[in-house]
Amino acid sequence: MSRNSRSRSHGRRSRRKRVALMVGAPVVAVAAGVTLINSAGAATPSEVSADCRADSDKLENCEFVDVQFKQNSFGPNERVSPVSDNCGNASTTTKTFSVSASVTRTVQLEEGFSVDSGIKLGNSVFEVGAKFQTQEINITRDDKRTTLAFDRSDIVQPDSMGFFMWSHKRTDVSGFLKATYKEPQDGGTVFFSPSEGATSVHVFYPQILNNGTPDGRLWLRNVKCGTTDAAKLSKAANNSAQSTTRAAQAEPGFGQGGANVTDVEIPLSEVTAP
């Protein structure tokens, strides 16, 4: 091949390279532009949940959208009186118990956190509750506390430890959060947590009796001394702060304590209204 032919061939290749580079450069620029736009990002479900819980200034509003509900569900099993010790005695004994419990409306997000109602979310929760307030079922729609408190004498079984247990009735409404942001994020202002149509966000509305006391199940529990459960109760009884309500610690439900535990339900009609 002659030198002129090689030179012409080399020139054509150089021009093709330059054209390829010129065409490719804008593509890189566009890709970089997309990355910059997406860096703002849409609010993730966890961010929506956190912003609603914190009542973030970024929010125009945060609403609870109900999807389904269940009435007469039971809340946590709580020990609501001090423990009375009748260990080592072969006969029953009558003890006076001071019983105290309270209920309040609770908003529980999917991560397990509860949020205060004095925020944007509170108004929505209050309004949603109106749909479940009926002549048959009275609920607490706001965040006020309703108290159950009384003194009662009851029988502690031989060689046993006695105390009162309580589980309040509530209307469990489940749904999702809808957050409206003041500034657009990724082209939108409305985002959901965990997703639109989900049922993992719960609002628990306590059910209240006509006499003003919380509705629920109250029972006297006797635990045989010398058992593991009795040992735990003895340890707790040594600390007055632990010998009353232990809402944060799981307790067996009514009739679920096992062979060494006896439960006797107390009708709420026997409880004096506040």
pLDDT of residue 23: 36
Distances (CA, A) of 136 to 139, 144, 245: 10, 21, 29
Contact 263, 257 (CB under 8 A): yes
Residue 187 is predicted with a pLDDT of 86
d(CA 70, CA 80): 25
Of 127, 123, 141, give the one whose Cα is nearest residue 205: 141
Q: What is the distance between the terminal CA atoms of the chain, rounded to a whole angstrom? A: 111
Per-residue confidence (pLDDT) for residue 185, from 0 to 100: 86
Q: What local confidence, expressed as pLDDT, does residue 119 receive? A: 82
Neighbouring CB atoms inside 10 A of 129's CB total 20
> Which residues does residue 172 pair with via DSSP β-bridges, in sequence order?
70, 204
* CA separation for the pair 229, 195 (Å, rounded): 42
Q: What is the CA radius of gyration of the chain?
A: 32
For residues 266 and 219, the answer to whether their CB atoms sit within 8 Å is yes
Q: What is the pLDDT along the chain (274 residues), one digit of tens a residue?
A: 554 544 455 455 544 444 333 333 333 333 333 333 333 578 899 999 999 989 999 999 999 999 999 999 999 999 999 999 999 999 999 999 999 999 999 888 866 666 666 788 988 999 999 999 998 999 999 888 999 999 999 999 999 999 999 999 999 999 999 999 999 988 899 999 999 999 999 999 999 998 889 999 999 999 999 999 898 887 766 664 444 444 445 689 999 999 999 999 999 998 876 6
Residue 267 host element (H or E): none
* pLDDT attached to residue 110: 65
